[in-house]
Amino acid sequence: MAKRSSLREIAEELGLSVPTVSRALGGYSDIALATRERVADAARRLGYEPNSAGRMLASGKSGYVGLVLPVGERQFVDAYLGAIVAGLSEGLAERDLQLMIAAVAPGHTPLDTIRKLVNARRVDGLVLTRIASEDPRIAFLLDRDLPFVTLGRQRDGMPDHPWLDVDDGAAFDHAIETLAGLGHRHVGLISITDDLTFARRREAATEAAASRLGLRLSRCAAARDDRRARHDGIASILAGKDRPTAILGLVDGIALDVLMIAARIGLSVPAELSVIGFDDISGSAYSAPPLTTFDPDNRQVGRLAAGMMHDLLTARDGAPTQMMCQAQFVSRATHGPAPLLE
Amino acid sequence: MAKRSSLREIAEELGLSVPTVSRALGGYSDIALATRERVADAARRLGYEPNSAGRMLASGKSGYVGLVLPVGERQFVDAYLGAIVAGLSEGLAERDLQLMIAAVAPGHTPLDTIRKLVNARRVDGLVLTRIASEDPRIAFLLDRDLPFVTLGRQRDGMPDHPWLDVDDGAAFDHAIETLAGLGHRHVGLISITDDLTFARRREAATEAAASRLGLRLSRCAAARDDRRARHDGIASILAGKDRPTAILGLVDGIALDVLMIAARIGLSVPAELSVIGFDDISGSAYSAPPLTTFDPDNRQVGRLAAGMMHDLLTARDGAPTQMMCQAQFVSRATHGPAPLLE
DNA sequence: CCTAGTTTCTAAAGCGCTTTAGATCCTGTT
DNA sequence: AACAGGATCTAAAGCGCTTTAGAAACTAGG
């Protein structure tokens, strides 16, 4: 039932021409109001929905916004992707845009994937995540003049473009301030070596805050998916009597690892060691003790990105829009006053 | 640079007609091999990628598989969506299919959303999650003869269709067996009241296993997002000296709640109470103690669904394909021998 | 050397929509 | 009463691709 239903069908049914029906549904004023209503009725009655391919071809717009999926990485997938996808798709749906997810096919580079999407005119715009300090995808899209929004930024000094970022600088600064206020004089930061701008920003903010407040800062970093190296790094930072009394994890996954290792070597949290993370992933509320962290509200970030995308696609003018969101401090049970070390 | 690049451009460049180029790229044998190669070269050189709208319109296929996003529910989003989206998009990308995510726009029902997608010919097939015991979406798609795969099933006795499900019956049976083997004689199951088939199946499996093994079973259930009611239910099951010595959480989120409440009322896990969950969400490894649970490998489920979808879309014949996956038992630290209760 | 059969390509049409350029019919002017 | 101007609709074209029918050129069979 309810077979195809095209403009032609409506036109024939009503004794009108196809363009008239098209314009009537489009609400153009050169079609008599009465006709417009007649057409709208018929469309409703027949369950008409414009064929997307026909519309795309004629209008040159696909109605799709693409999200390029970073490869692999279980970590990323769990903590981040679901929320972003949910927020984006909700935000886009409200604006009559569609979300497509483009995974990088085996044997292809992310850039290949993007190039294909753009050349096939499959998307009107793109959303990029996991931005590197000098991201080739951004250079490509800028060159091609394809609207895009990045979730995260390149390093400072790179060409301007629309982005949406969580102010992790402010968050890590706040974390250090909080710890300093609790009497900590030596803090640690466990980071990653991957070329992701957010890592560099968080490191820089931590460093700046620490030096401003006169705190000593110990750091270590390992490749994101090299759990082993990370654990070794954490363990060695925590060993020795000259250890930091508080540790910042670049992300919750790392902070939770710190918690685990602290427990293993008999360091009690927060009495002997404070730990603060970032992301508020689902596990963080249930760790022992529950992790103090920051909630970036990624779902909301997705929604906002949808709004920016829509603006780019419609009002195509003016300077690139850029937006900074604040992550909320989630104060749980892993931070407290600095212990008295001899 | 690399402006449009269409079949026409290639055709003119090579002095051929458009259909010839089309068929050459399609690898048809009625085009001379030499010509095919010449065309392929030119296409590569010009960075040609077929315009998706043109192709869709002519072929009648969109190349898209839609995933209809359940509304709201932070829980769902965190635990499940990311992995499924990742798996699906990877699996589809390998097969030259695209994934689109359709959120239900405000003021619309899920069925509206699906109907729109189908009528607009936006998708060649759909993937459905969170299946109800008698799901109207399934009835609709069956009626419309649109290929689809469900992740989860309806209750037994409903019309046949392609599905992919995790064998939670086997998992819960295994959990009960394990507990019985550890000497537990009274177990609890914390469930949800929502009309989701997996909940009913898990309950039934638990009940069957318990009665088969002669265990007493206490149950409680609350609406999935009514955290308060769930907590009250858990607390009251755990109160009283006649309490169960082991609790199964329908999902990890619930099991983690049980852990929390047990800690609050001074019940030590696993010495005094065993707890087992299902899902292996990211938090489960970090809880105190780390949660024993089942890992359904949702990413793999997504990949398999992509494969099924592809089969449906190409070989469109035979009986509906149905596939059952086994969840893997993740033995961590929340289960142990039954305590000796007086 | 002519007809039949291949091989290789082109012409024409159509997918369903939008857009541009008219055409047609009124209304009111002068 | 003839015409400008507005209101309302239609005809034609085209978006980029695929498919079907058929043309042209060649090969082979008798």
Distance between start and end Cα atoms, chain B? 81
Amino acid at B156: D
Q: What is the DSSP letter of B78?
A: I
Structural domain contains residue B2: no
Chain A contact for B278 (CB, 8 A cutoff): no
Structural domain contains residue A130: yes
Do B188 and B43 lie in one domain? The reply is: no
Q: What is the DSSP string of A22-56?
A: HHHHHT-TTS-HHHHHHHHHHHHHHT----HHHHH
Residue A106: the pLDDT is 86
**Distance from the Cα of residue A260 to its chain's centroid:** 27
Q: What is the DSSP string of A190-212?
A: EEE-S--HHHHHHHHHHHHHHHH
Q: Which of A9-23, A317-331, B115-129, B151-165 has the lowest mean pLDDT?
A: A317-331
Structural domain contains residue A336: no
Q: Is the pLDDT of residue A219 over 60?
A: yes
For strand D, give the nucleotides within 7 A of a protein CB: 7-20, 22
Residue B74: the pLDDT is 61
Structural domain contains residue B58: no
What is the mean predicted confidence (pLDDT) over A305-330?
A: 88
Do A183 and A286 lie in one domain? The reply is: yes
Q: What is the pLDDT of residues A141-191, one digit of tens each?
A: 999 999 999 999 999 999 999 999 999 999 999 999 999 999 999 999 999
Do A189 and A110 lie in one domain? The reply is: no
Which residue has tokens 């998916």?
A225
User: What CATH number did the domain enclosing A162 receive?
Assistant: 3.40.50.2300
Range of the structural domain that residue A124 is part of: 64-166+299-325
Do A162 and A307 lie in one domain? The reply is: yes
Do A132 and A207 lie in one domain? The reply is: no
Q: Whole-angstrom Cα distance, residue A232 to residue B244?
A: 41
Do A252 and A318 lie in one domain? The reply is: no
For strand C, give the nucleotides within 7 A of a protein CB: 7-20, 22
Protein chain B, residues 19-78, with a C-beta closer than 7 Å to any atom of nucleic acid strand D:
19, 22-23, 25-26, 30, 48, 50-51, 53-55, 57-59
Q: Which residues of B touch A57 (CB under 8 A)?
A: 51, 53-54, 56-57
For the record, the structure tokens of B332 come out as 């961590």
Chain A contact for B104 (CB, 8 A cutoff): yes
Contact: B51, A82; criterion CB under 8 Å: no
Task: Give the one of B83, B103, B283 whose C-beta lies nearest to A284's C-beta.
Answer: B283
Asked if strand D comes closer than 7 Å to B17 Cβ, the answer is no
Q: Whole-angstrom Cα distance, residue A231 to residue A264?
A: 11
User: What CATH number did the domain enclosing A36 receive?
Assistant: 1.10.260.40
Q: Are B221 and B193 in contact (CB under 8 A)?
A: yes
Contact: B101, A115; criterion CB under 8 Å: no
Do B321 and B228 lie in one domain? The reply is: no
Number of domains in chain B: 3
Structural domain contains residue A58: no
Rounded, the Å distance between the CA of A46 and C1' of D15 is 26
Q: How far is A89 from chain B (nearest CA, A)?
A: 6
Task: Pick out the nucleotide with least CA–C1' distance to B28.
Answer: C8
Judged by phi (left if over 0) then psi (alpha if -120 to 50, else beta), residue A272 lies in: alpha
Residues 72-91 in B contacting A (C-alpha not used; CB under 8 Å): 74, 77-83, 85-86, 88-90
By CB atoms closer than 10 A (0-12, 13-18, 19+), residue B204 is middle
Do B142 and B80 lie in one domain? The reply is: yes
Do A107 and A97 lie in one domain? The reply is: yes
CB within 8 Å of B15: residues ≥ 6 apart: none
Rounded, the Å distance between the CA of B332 and C1' of C29 is 93
For the record, the structure tokens of B150 come out as 């469900």
Structural domain contains residue A57: no
Residue from A77, A114, A264 whose CB has the most chain B CBs within 10 Å, to mutate: A77
Rounded, the Å distance between the CA of B46 and C1' of D26 is 32
How confident is the prediction along chain B (342 residues), in pLDDT tens digits per residue?
445 789 999 999 999 999 999 999 999 988 999 999 999 999 999 999 999 999 999 999 999 999 998 776 665 666 688 899 999 999 999 999 999 999 998 899 999 999 999 999 999 999 999 999 999 999 999 999 999 999 999 999 999 999 999 999 999 999 999 999 999 999 999 999 999 999 999 999 999 999 999 999 999 999 998 999 999 999 999 998 899 999 999 999 999 999 999 999 999 999 999 999 999 988 899 998 999 999 999 999 999 999 999 999 987 566 678 999 999 999 999 999 999 865
Instruction: Give per-residue burial for B216-229: e unless 16+ CB within 10 Å, then b.
Output: ebbbbbbebeeeee
A274, β-bridge pairs = A246
Residues 189-218 in A contacting B (C-alpha not used; CB under 8 Å): none
Structural domain contains residue B332: no
| Alpha carbons within 13 A on the beta-carbon side of A245 | 21
Task: Give the one of A85, A105, A119 whose C-beta lies nearest to B85's C-beta.
Answer: A85
Residue from B5, B62, B76, B77 whose CB has the most chain A CBs within 10 Å, to mutate: B77
Do B150 and B262 lie in one domain? The reply is: no
Q: What is the DSSP string of B159-199?
A: PP--EEEE-HHHHHHHHHHHHHHTT--EEEEEEE-S--HHH
Do A19 and A96 lie in one domain? The reply is: no
Do B206 and B283 lie in one domain? The reply is: yes
Structural domain contains residue B303: yes
Which residue has tokens 């951004």?
A138
